[in-house]
Every structure is written in C-alpha cells, then in structure tokens.
Amino acid sequence: MLAQLGYLPVSWQPPYLGMRIASELDASAAVLAGQEALAYDPPQGTFTWEPGYPATLASMWQPDSYNVILRGAVMSFQSQHDLAVTGDVDDALWEAVFRADSASEANLGGYTYAVASQVDPETLTIYHDGQVVLSSLANTGIADSPTADGTFPVYLKYRFQIMKGTNPDGSSYADPVSFVSYFNGSDAVHYFPRGGYGFQQSLGCVELAYGAAEQAYPYLTYGSLVTVTG
C-alpha cells in the first residue's frame, strides 16, 4: 500500500485477481475489511524499482522484512497524517494506511534519497523522484568526531537552531545554524559558515554552504533516507 501511495522508490503491481476483487468492493467499510484481510494474507504482487536512483538504495531493499527503506516510508507517512513520527508499525498506523489507500491519498512530498560521500572532495547528492536535484560540496566529521557510515531516516527538522554541544577538547559550543535535518543522533544536514567545503571539518554533521542548505532543506522531509559512505 505504501508503494502504491508513492512512499517507496518502488511500484507494486497486484495480480489480476486482486485488481478485480478491489474493483468490486464499493462500500467504504468493505474496502477497509478487504484491505485488512490482504494485510494478513498479502497477494503475490510484483515490486518494480523506479528509475533514477543509485544502486546503494536498491541494495537495501528487502520486500519481506522491515528494512530501513520501509522504516523511512513509514515515518514519511506518519508525518503527513499527523501521527507521531516513530517509524513504529502499530494499530494507528495500519488504520491510517488502510484509510489513505482506500481514498487514494498519495504522498504529497515525493520520494527523496540523499548520499553524503566522505571521499575527497566530500559531497552531498540528493535524489528526488528519480532525479538529481542537488549535488554540492559538503563537510563531514573530523577524526576526533567522525560522521558514522550507514543509512538513516530524517527524524527531526528545524529551520533555525542554536546547536549546542562539547568540542573534542572539552570546551562547549553554541552555534547558530540553519536548515537543520537530523538523521542520526546529533548528526544533521545543515548550513554552517566555513571558508570552504569538501573536506572533514565538522563534529559529525554534514555541513553545506547557505544556498545548498536552503535548497536541500525542503527535500529532506521526515523519513527521507540519508546514506553516509566512504
């Protein structure tokens, strides 16, 4: 259902029988009942990858398990349906998905995937609906405070924030930052003023120049996946 509503980078095609049954369920209650039955005994449909995304994303897709791609899709759905953005699959989520599917309430934000490469020169590339919408120099963490490799969903956003913490030497900092999208603990994509970009300078965040951060911010919606590699 999340694939059909546009929350995943894959499409799903049900078998002919499933389409015929769905077309015969006219009443809203019947539609919801039919969906619930199919949730417990899903039909054998076919997933097809949408074009334009890198192989790193496809390599994480496991249709029969709760993988990070599905978790990000759940978080994106939750954010658009006024649910707590937890990534948890509970009764409230199932009910909301059933109702959204019966009403064909598609994802309004599109699908976003970002890759932060720690290979010099460091970059951030953002894919949206299968197209590269941003390719920018970026900074990641220094050796004493590295940016962890892995793939993580965006879980918290601020247009502006005073970011506080402790430097590796034990001193404290309180820096004004803009266009903040947290994806792994205290690591976030955000604007931070530097003399240059493209190499390790941060304390774990992915730093961008102002214009690039401003452009990235609306694409990095809740649940959008950020892969840090290299």
Q: Pick left, alpha or beta for residue 223 (phi over 0 → left; psi -120 to 50 → alpha; otherwise beta).
A: left
pLDDT digits (tens, 9 = 90+) for 61-92: 988 889 999 999 999 999 999 999 999 999 99
Distance separating alpha carbons of residues 188 and 173, to the nearest angstrom: 16
Give the pLDDT band (50/70/90) at residue 14.
Answer: confident
- Is 5 inside any structural domain? no
- Is 195 inside any structural domain? yes
pLDDT digits (tens, 9 = 90+) for 151-167: 999 999 999 999 999 99
Question: What percentage of residues in the chain have a pLDDT greater than 90?
Answer: 82
Do 38 and 139 lie in one domain? The reply is no
Domain termination residue (choose one: 68, 102, 136): 102
CATH, residue 132:
2.40.440.10
- Provide the 3-class DSSP secondary structure of residue 206: strand
Give the CA count within 13 Å in the CB-facing half-sphere of 113: 25
- Is 4 inside any structural domain? no
The predicted structure's pLDDT at residue 40: 75
Do 116 and 93 lie in one domain? The reply is no
What pTM was estimated for this model as a whole? Answer: 0.89
Place of tokens 């609906």: 129
Do 118 and 58 lie in one domain? The reply is no
Q: Identify which has the larger pLDDT, 31 or 211.
A: 211
The predicted structure's pLDDT at residue 32: 59
Domain termination residue (choose one: 102, 129, 160): 102
- Is 1 inside any structural domain? no
Do 219 and 156 lie in one domain? The reply is yes
Tokens linked to 83:
């649910």
- Please give the tally of structural domains in the chain: 2
Mean pLDDT confidence for 115-138: 98
Q: Which structural domain range is residue 147 located in? A: 112-229
The predicted structure's pLDDT at residue 28: 53
Q: Which of 103, 112, 124 has its CA nearest to residue 76?
A: 112
Burial environment of residue 130 by CB neighbours within 10 A (0 to 12, 13 to 18, 19 or more): middle
Mean pLDDT confidence for 11-39: 60
Mean pLDDT confidence for 114-134: 98
Domain termination residue (choose one: 43, 72, 102): 102
The predicted structure's pLDDT at residue 21: 44
Mean pLDDT confidence for 14-20: 56
Mean pLDDT confidence for 188-192: 98
Q: Which of 189, 210, 187, 12 has its CA nearest to residue 113?
A: 189
The predicted structure's pLDDT at residue 65: 87
Q: Evaluate if residue 192 carries a pLDDT over 80.
A: yes
Q: Which amino acid is at 145?
A: S
Query: Are 79 and 221 in contact, with CB atoms under 8 Å apart?
Result: yes
Beta-carbon count within 10 A of 50 CB: 14
Q: Evaluate if residue 25 carries a pLDDT over 60.
A: no
Question: What distances in angstroms separate CA 180 from CA 100, 191, 197, one per listed residue?
Answer: 29, 7, 17
Q: Pick left, alpha or beta for residue 191 (phi over 0 → left; psi -120 to 50 → alpha; otherwise beta).
A: beta
Do 85 and 57 lie in one domain? The reply is yes
